[in-house]
Amino acid sequence: MDLKAKTYTIDVKHVTRVEGHGRIIVNTKEGVVQEVKLAITEANRFFENFVKGMQPAEVPWIVSRICGICCVGHQLTATKAVEAALGIQVSPQTILLRKLLTESQFLQSHVLHVYFLAVPDYLGVKSVLPLAKSHPDVVKRALRLKKLANDYTAMFGGRTLHPMSNTLKGFRKLPHLDDVAALRKRLLEAIPDVEETVRVAQTLKIPPYERETEYVSLKHPDEYALYDGEVYSSDTRSKVPVSRYREVTNEFTVAHSTTKWSKWHRCSYFAGALARVNNNFDQLLPQAQQTAKDLGLKVPCYNPYMNNVAQVVEVVHCAYNSVRMLDELLGSGLKEEDISYEVKAGRGAGSCEVPRGILFHEYEFDGDGRCSAANAIIPTSQNVNNIEQDMKAFVPKMLPQMSKEELTLHMEMLLRAYDPCISCSVHMLDVEFVD
Amino acid sequence: MVGLGSSLGGDDGIGLALVQALSGDAIFAARCVFLESADAATIASSFIEWGAPAILVDAANMALSPGEYRLFEDSEASAILKTSSVSTHGLGLAEGLELARTLGFGKSVYIFGIQPFDLSPGQGITPEMTARFPSLLSALKTACSRLIRG
């Protein structure tokens, strides 16, 4: 292939994310990569200012609005941070209910991302709409699983989006055990759909590009960490407490991005399903471990495109683990709990894994119980730096063997593989070439 | 009868409010459902699950005067409702319906659209829309009764 003919600019404008907009720029000259940038131009959301002056219980409900897909994760992370600030202890029942909420959100989000955003790329269609024509059974299955996950969230959260049942110290409304048993039955009946999802994932031709990086996730001594744990690095193979999260994120600014970037032990790190599977593979349920093997995901895996596969592995884990937790709940029963708490001054941090990676919240309250400071660092912000590093590593490898169109598609697929909040809009990208 | 919209978007909540009021009437109560802030996947799966004709009640930009309404079939409305975005956040009613149609939902869908005065964020419909509410509810009841009778 004539590399000298490869002089062009790829300019993917308006890569929209929940907080604003971004852009992919690739400049090549005679087959040599001159510039690769993931330029984020997101606007400030001001949530950290919205909550100033708010009472403790109000904060988690407000900040859940940061994201319509990760609303459960934002709410639970904020709840944990506020509880840490006020020294509130929660019961095993509350922790179990929150873990169920967490896994319902993982099922919702991963099914949505894998089927509606990732699979169309691999099956050569623009979106889920033509996919419904070419592969109606695939889309029907996706809708069934999404509906089940929505109902699952609504059962424990009170509604599908922005749950209102969870609050500080417990739950304002508990589900009926008959409904819990019915949900367990529906989850078991959905296992064939989950298995079929694995079979669909087996057919996807994942681009074979690898770049080793640092993988950061929560880690828990007793379980696959989604709701709780300490912050673990694959570089040091050690953990730090969530309260020291600023030592992890080390946020900094770059000229072409209005979102802050993060780095820990090297220039960038990866947060998300692949980081979790890499760091905590042994704690996945056996069915999920087998799925990883069936899908060719061998840890440590350094291929970021495999994040989609890791999400399917987590769908399997969450489906079976949800049944296990529902059994536990049905065995122990549910009782109303005292959710009153004492207001006092304090500062606390919380962290949960959300579908896109590790999420940190921190809040401070004055003696009147009014929020005086807040900080939220979302996974997409932490991943942006790593995505650009991937692009810089992969474009020189892709350039000799790909057309401009193929290269553009692979850059967009890479971005989508991370399932960033911008994934909500990457399918509406207008690609503009400037020769 | 399906109430659509967002109760936090000013007059975008008019569909929800009308169907809420409709549900107070014994004739319609068992037929009323709500899809508040629903995405296309939820809309599509709901239609497929129901498998029944539907009357959607929602704020709609139809280039009418604010407060006016129109009853039409979804096939007539596709050009009006289509949006250009194809994403999880951007997929809305039009795409949800199209998805359901593509997947085999073949029942009639009517839309009772109301031209909004203001869609700015905020709880509750505008005073102007509130003033029109009784006449809109009356028109909706008439339309629903007629369509149910076939």
| Integer CA distances (angstroms), A392 to A389, A411, A429, in order | 5, 10, 21
Q: How far apart are CA A357 and CA A382, in angstroms?
A: 9
Which residue bears the tokens 């304002």? A172
Nearest to B39 by CA among B82, B89, B4: B89
| Integer CA distances (angstroms), A102 to A69, A75, A142, A319, in order | 12, 10, 19, 12
Greatest Cα-to-Cα distance within chain B, rounded to the nearest angstrom: 41
- Are A6 and A405 a contacting pair, CB within 8 Å? no
- Are A365 and A342 a contacting pair, CB within 8 Å? no
Measured between CA atoms, the residue of chain B closest to residue A426 is B87
Residue A424's pLDDT is 30
B103:A161 CB<8 A: no
**Residue range B51-94, pLDDT digits in tens:** 999 999 999 888 889 999 999 888 876 544 444 444 445 567 77
B87:A112 CB<8 A: no
Domains of chain B, with CATH numbers?
A: 2-149 (3.40.50.1450)
DSSP string, B24-77: TSTTTGGG-EEEET--HHHHHHHHHHH-S-EEEEEE---SS-TT-EEEEEHHHH
Residue B148's pLDDT is 85
Neighbour tally for A91: CB within 10 Å: 13
Q: How confident is the model at residue A413 (pLDDT cuts 50, 70, 90)?
A: confident
- Are A276 and A240 a contacting pair, CB within 8 Å? no
Give the distance from residue A143's alpha carbon to the nearest chain B alpha carbon, in angstroms. Answer: 6
Residue A132 carries which side chain, given as an amino acid letter? A
Identify all chain B residues contacting A136, using CB atoms and an 8 Å cutoff. 102-104
B88:A161 CB<8 A: no
Nearest to A357 by CA among A420, A267, A292, A281: A420
Which residues, including other chains, have CB under 8 Å from residue A129's CB and lie 6 or more apart? B86, B95, B98, B99, B102
Range with lowest mean pLDDT among A26-30, A33-37, A245-249, B81-85: B81-85
Average pLDDT over residues A278-289: 98
Give the distance from residue B130's alpha carbon to the nearest chain A alpha carbon, in angstroms. Answer: 27
Which residue bears the tokens 């696959």? A224
Q: How far apart are CA A403 and CA B149, in angstroms?
A: 59
Q: How far apart are CA A418 and CA A277, in angstroms?
A: 14
Residue A237's pLDDT is 98
- Tell me how far the alpha carbon of residue A17 is from its chain's centroid: 13
Average pLDDT over residues B131-142: 97
Tokens of B107: 């029942």
Average pLDDT over residues A352-356: 96
Length of chain A: 435
- Are B144 and B18 a contacting pair, CB within 8 Å? no
- Are A14 and A412 a contacting pair, CB within 8 Å? no
Q: How far apart are CA A350 and CA A79, in angstroms?
A: 8
Tokens of A18: 């929940």
Q: How far apart are CA A112 and CA A119, in angstroms?
A: 10
Helical axes B127-149 vs B14-22, angle rounded to 10°? 50
Nearest to B88 by CA among B43, B35, B33, B36: B43
Tokens of A106: 């993982």
A112:B41 CB<8 A: yes
Q: Using CB atoms, which residue from B49, B88, B98 is nearest to A129?
A: B98
Mean pLDDT of chain B: 86
**Residue range B125-136, pLDDT digits in tens:** 999 999 999 999
Percent of chain A scoring above 90 in pLDDT:
69
- Are A69 and A46 a contacting pair, CB within 8 Å? no
**Residue range A210-247, pLDDT digits in tens:** 999 999 999 999 999 999 999 999 999 999 999 999 99
Measured between CA atoms, the residue of chain A closest to residue B85 is A428
Identify all chain B residues contacting A427, using CB atoms and an 8 Å cutoff. 85-87
Q: Using CB atoms, which residue from A128, A144, A425 is nearest to B89?
A: A425
Length of chain B: 150
Residue A181's pLDDT is 98
Residue A175's pLDDT is 96
**Residue range A74-129, pLDDT digits in tens:** 999 999 999 999 999 999 999 999 999 999 999 999 998 898 888 888 887 877 88
Task: Check whether A356 has a pLDDT greater than 60.
Answer: yes
Q: Using CB atoms, which residue from A126, A140, A427 is nearest to B103?
A: A140
ipTM more than 0.85? no
- Tell me how far the alpha carbon of residue A304 is from its chain's centroid: 14
Task: Check whether A15 has a pLDDT greater than 50.
Answer: no
Pick the residue with more confidence: A36 or A348? A348
**Residue range A67-87, pLDDT digits in tens:** 877 899 999 999 999 999 999
Handedness of CA B89, B95, B101, B104 (dihedral sign): negative
Give the distance from residue A429's alpha carbon to the nearest chain B alpha carbon, in angstroms. Answer: 9
Task: Check whether A422 has a pLDDT greater than 70.
Answer: no
Residue A5's pLDDT is 65
Neighbour tally for A267: CB within 10 Å: 13
Kind plus residue range of the DSSP H or E element containing A376: strand A371-377
Within A228-306, residue ranges assigned H as helices are 245-249, 273-280, 286-294
**Residue range A140-191, pLDDT digits in tens:** 999 999 999 999 999 999 988 889 999 999 999 999 999 999 999 999 999 9
The partner residues of A262 in beta bridges, in order of sequence, read none
Residue B78's pLDDT is 56
According to DSSP, residue A42 is labeled P
Task: Check whether A434 has a pLDDT greater than 90.
Answer: no
Q: How far apart are CA B31 and CA B3, in angstroms?
A: 11
Give the distance from residue B107's alpha carbon to the nearest chain A alpha carbon, in angstroms. Answer: 17
Question: What percent helix, strand, coil does chain B show, rounded to 5?
Answer: 45, 20, 35
Task: Check whether A14 has a pLDDT greater than 90.
Answer: no
Residue A162's pLDDT is 87
Q: How far apart are CA B54 and CA B144, in angstroms?
A: 10
**Residue range A39-58, pLDDT digits in tens:** 876 667 788 888 999 999 99
Residue B19's pLDDT is 97
- Tell me how far the alpha carbon of residue B119 is from its chain's centroid: 15
